[in-house]
Each structure stands twice: as structure tokens, then as C-alpha cells.
Structure 1
Amino acid sequence: MSDITLFRLKPEVEPIALQAVRLEREIQRLIERNMETFFGVRFLASEYAVSLADGADVQGGRIDSLGIDENNCPVIFEYKRDVNENVINQGLFYLDWLIDHRADFKLLVIERLGRQAADTIDWSSPAVYCIANAFGRYDLHAIKQMNRNIRLIRYANGGDMVMFEYLNSPSTVALASPAIDGGFARSRSNDKTFAQQYAGATDELREIVDEIRRYMAERGDDVSENELKLYLAIKKVRNIVCVEVNRTRVILHMHLNPDTVELGGIVVDAREKGHWGTGDLECSIRTMDELDGVKPLLDRAYLEN
């Protein structure tokens, strides 16, 4: 895997020695205390026990850390504790278990975050974050073949600093989701999915969506797509821009402060508007020329997030 060297600039330039923490439990506690700051994920539970259908505990059957991201998708964190541990397969096992036990996850969200948060859980793009101070040479190749929403994240710390290196940027297509989610009725079952929105749009609007995807992908290798139930999230660690499309326009919600943007016309402040996705700046686009006009805002959203 790639190597990174950090330098301290003051009082004089010198390299910062990066090292793994002495105990993996230390990095787990650090991440759980600061999960939203580091990854934009709200913390739910530590060492969450899972069991088989017959009630018997799975040996080692505990999800290291469990959270829910800004798109309201479940996120599993697994920490690699030794060089021989297959943390990727372990994370996939827990992901499949969680998808099969949606009601349990929803009850956990109700307990920790309340009913409103639980009613907006989106199962279209659950994720596994694998955290380690090093990965084997075949790990990155392996997850490319799996076509699952798995992130490999290498960490190191240097004194009072910690570094997270994202070794891949998975893009996902929304998973099929039943009308009844884990025993609870979905509150958004009548809304068109993003795939349905795209399929029902005009050729020109689909071309605009395709150009947005192409343009953002060209910003950098750290850009990925999560196709969620109701919108497309284009993101790095956090969302950069969320995309919806209907019969008349493409709607973008960007992570930019509206107070720093000249508003008017197709660009509006969405802080007081209800909408799918995340981002306080809304742009409504009907033509390629209008898209060209907001590309500088897309550049800013990429650079500032």
C-alpha cells in the first residue's frame, strides 16, 4: 500500500514519525468518541452482539462499532487486530447479518437517536469500514471483485495527530428494499426511487445527470457514488453533492454555505426547505448551459468537503 510522510512546518521543517497505536482498542475508542467528526457517522453501539437464528452466540460474534451515516445508511466498523485477521470477510458477514436483522437495527436507532431518525433509515447502501494500520497486498484487489460498499482505511498517529488514509472509493448501486422494512412500514414507499426518476426523465435531463457524474468523477480518485433509494450521493468521505431528477429539472443539493454564494435564479438557499439528500445550497438545472454555470460551485463543493 502507499506510504505517506507528514512534515511539521514550525519551528522548522521536520518529518513526523507515524506509528500504529499500541493497542487496537485505543483506535476503536478514539473513533467511537469522534466518529461524526472523522467520518460523518453518528455512533450507535460498541461491541454489538450478533447471534444465529437458534439464539446461539456466533463465536466472536460482535460488531466492533456500529453507526449511521449522513444518508441514514447503516455503517459497520471493523478493526484489524493482527496481521492474519481477515477483517474484510468478517465485515461482510456482519453486513449480511445486519441486513437480515433490520428490525434489530431499527430498535437500536430508536433507543439511541429516537423514532424520527429510525423512520428514515435507508438500506439501499449500507457500508463496512475496515480500519487497520496496514493491509495486505491482495486486500484492495479482493474488494474490487466483491462489488460491495467496503472502505479500507489505514490509520497512523504521530504524537497528538492521527491520520486516516482512504485506500479505495467504492461506488454503489442501490440495493433492493422491501416495502416493509424490518417489520416496520416504510414512510417513503410511494416515492420514486432514483433509478425510477432517471428512467422517467427526458433524454436531455438524463444527459445532464450523466455529465454531472462524469464531471465529478474527474475531480479526483477520492470521489465515489452511492446510489440511494431516493437520490444519488456523490461523495468523498462525506457527501459533496446530492442529485435528484424529475420530469422538468435536475436538482442538486451541495455542501456549501449559502451565505458564501451569490443567490438568485436557479441557485437558492435550501436551509429552511425540506428536501431529500444533504446540502444547504440548491440548484435547479434544466439545460447544459445552466449546468456549465454551476460547475464552479461543484468545484468549490469538491475542494471544501
Structure 2
Amino acid sequence: MNDLKLFRVVGGVATEIPRAAVTLERHLQTLIETNMETLLGIRFLASEYRTGPRHRGRIDSLGMDENGNPVIVEYKRSTGKAVIIQALSYLNWLRDHRHEFENLVKDRLGAEEADKVDWSDPRVVCVAADFTKHDVFAMEEIGRRVDLVSYRHFGADLLALQLVASMAGSTASTRSSAPGAESGRAAVKSVRQLYDESPQSLKDLYADLDALLTSSAEVRTEFQQHYIAYRRIRNVATVRFQPASHTLVARLAVDPDGVDLVEGFTRDLRGIGALGTGPLEVKIRSRTDLARARDLVLRSVEGASG
């Protein structure tokens, strides 16, 4: 399914750069693990992680994505059929070993990050040279959250990744209302609850923002616990609802250094703990605000890596 081509243009003449599979799966794995956050938006936790006597295997890579979801990454040098089956078997292990995973996050990233793990919909990323249409159809039937990512290696220093398909998973629409609710802590309303409580005027405003964020067919929409994520391989934006103040809070993958910040409208969030991803916050309260934010939103959609 991967028809990606890369050309070198010199003096107005285009020459196709030959593509090739990485010679060894381990080389591909090491390359991605070393650069996992840049390439996939996933923080690397462990490599070749043993699954114990029942599953009798080793997970190629374990990580946690920018939304707090546990992630299994599996690699295959050629086509993706075998890697999909293997990754799904490890997903079964992951669901049964939550405490072990959280301890791993605590050891690698700290206790604060371990508290952010969202178990409502763990994710699988399968990386292979190519996937067939039958692979995609099979994933749609299985109903698990799976990304199929194809790669192409062009010479020594060019690597292309393409999101071939992304399945939301059957549990995405049934997330619990708040992490930690079972332990008796005060419930935090989910983004779906906040959307339901929003006045129709705010829902209509969100519909216009959503249309702008999904103006590229490559952008997928995913409901997380506290916000709606818009992503390709990585997030390009996140959106939260504040019904009481009739406000949409968008975080964009835009460098604040290139933006004339306006108090109450745009804010640099680098170094500030806040829900969502992206360094630039934009607060949208009206269609006038949305019109002002349009170029920033499109810059995030079109320019964000992934």
C-alpha cells in the first residue's frame, strides 16, 4: 500500500532516490527507539521486554505516548501480517500487567508521570515495510487501538514514516469518567461529559474548529480522558472544553517564538504544566476568535511533524 516516493532535485532535474528495507529488524528497532519521541510522539521505556512464562515472548519496545496511553511497538523488516498478530498478543499481556507497567514508568520517568498513565485504551503501533489492504480490514474487525506505520529507508540518512491506517479501538467511546475514580478520589469530568454540558453555541463553535483541524484527510480525531487529540503519527493539536466560560482551549504544535502573543488569547505553555499537548495555547470564545486563530490552526495542522 505504500507508494511513497522521494526525489532529489538538482538544477531543476528530479531523480528518484531508490528505496530499500532496512537490512535488519534490530537496526530499525534501535533507530526508532533512539528517536522514538521525535518520530512517533512516544516516550521510550524499555526494549526487548520479557512477558513471562504465560506469553513467553519479548515486546520489541514499550513506551507511553504524549496522551499518557501505554504503547507496544513491534517491528518487521518486510510485510506486516506477522507483526500485527504478535503485537495483539502482547496487548493481552499489557492489560493484565498494569501495575508492572506503571512501576516501569515510575522507574524511567518518575512518579508524577506514572500517575498520568491512562488505561482506558492502550495502543499498539506496528512498524513494517508495507501493509496490505487485508491487514487494514482485519484490524477494523478486531476493534483494538492499532496504528499501522510503514517505513522507507532512502540511503544512509533519510527515513520516511507513513501512517497507513489508525484504528480507534472499540473501548474509545466507553472511557471511565476519571482516572482514580475507583480509589475514591474526587471524580474529574471527562471531555465527553464537558462537551455534553456545553451550550449549543459552544458545540457549534467546536464544530467549526473541528472542521478546520480535520481539513487535512490525514488527521485523525481521538477522544482522550481530558481532551480531544488531533494527530497524524503525532498530535497536531488538542482541544478542551470550558462550558462555564464558553471557551475552547486549543493547544497547537506551533512554536510560540514565531507568534505575537496576545494576553487572554494566546499563551506560551513551554515549561508550564497543563492538560493537552503542544507549546502554544489558544483560547477561542467566539467565531471572531476562531477567525483570528485560523492561520495558527492551519500552521499546526500543516506544519506539525508526523
Q: Please give the TM-score of this superposition, normalised by the length of structure 1.
A: 0.88
Q: 2:205 matched to which residue of 1?
A: 208
Q: 1:99 matched to which residue of 2?
A: 95
* Alpha-carbon distance change, 193 to 159 in structure 1, aligned in 2, over 3 angstroms: same
Q: 1:3 matched to which residue of 2?
A: 3
1:101-120 superposed Cα distances (whole Å, 9 cap, x missing partner): 21110011111111121111
> Aligned pair 1:301/2:297, yes or no?
no
Q: Give 1:299 shift.
A: 0.4
| Secondary structure of 2:165's aligned partner | coil
* Partners of 1:186 and 1:113 in 2: CA distance: 25
* Partners of 1:117 and 1:186 in 2: CA distance: 20
* Alpha-carbon distance change, 286 to 10 in structure 1, aligned in 2, over 3 angstroms: same
1:250-281 superposed Cα distances (whole Å, 9 cap, x missing partner): 11111212221122242233335432111222
User: Which is worse superposed, 68-77 or 142-151?
Assistant: 142-151
Q: 1:164 matched to which residue of 2?
A: 161
> Aligned pair 1:194/2:191, yes or no?
yes
Structure 1: which 5+ runs fail to align? Answer: none
* Partners of 2:277 and 2:178 in 1: CA distance: 23
* Alpha-carbon distance change, 186 to 230 in structure 1, aligned in 2, over 3 angstroms: farther
* Alpha-carbon distance change, 37 to 25 in structure 1, aligned in 2, over 3 angstroms: same
Q: 1:24 matched to which residue of 2?
A: 25
Q: Please give the TM-score of this superposition, normalised by the length of structure 2.
A: 0.87
Q: 1:137 matched to which residue of 2?
A: 133
- The one of 228, 245, 253 equivalent to 1:232 is 228
Structure 2: which 5+ runs fail to align? Answer: none
Q: 2:252 matched to which residue of 1?
A: 254
Q: Quick one: which amino acid aligns to residue 250 of structure 1?
A: L
Q: Give 1:185 shift.
A: 5.3
* Partners of 1:142 and 1:128 in 2: CA distance: 14
Q: 1:274 matched to which residue of 2?
A: 273
Instruction: Report 1:78-93 matches (<5 A).
Output: 78-80=74-76, 85-93=81-89
Tell me the matched-pair count.
297
Q: Quick one: which amino acid aligns to residue 149 of structure 1?
A: R
Q: Give 1:40 shift.
A: 1.7
* Alpha-carbon distance change, 108 to 214 in structure 1, aligned in 2, over 3 angstroms: same
Q: Quick one: which amino acid aligns to residue 139 of structure 1?
A: D
* Alpha-carbon distance change, 221 to 98 in structure 1, aligned in 2, over 3 angstroms: same
Q: 1:48 matched to which residue of 2?
A: 49
* Partners of 1:257 and 1:83 in 2: CA distance: 37
* Partners of 1:96 and 1:39 in 2: CA distance: 22
Q: Is the 8 A contact 2:80 2:127 kept in 1?
A: no
Structure (1/2) with the larger helix percentage: 2
* Partners of 1:256 and 1:180 in 2: CA distance: 29
Q: Quick one: which amino acid aligns to residue 2 of structure 2?
A: S
Q: Quick one: which amino acid aligns to residue 192 of structure 1?
A: K
Q: Quick one: which amino acid aligns to residue 209 of structure 1?
A: Y
- The one of 49, 62, 68 equivalent to 1:66 is 62
* Alpha-carbon distance change, 66 to 254 in structure 1, aligned in 2, over 3 angstroms: same
Q: Give 1:130 shift.
A: 0.6
User: Which is worse superposed, 19-28 or 121-130?
Assistant: 121-130
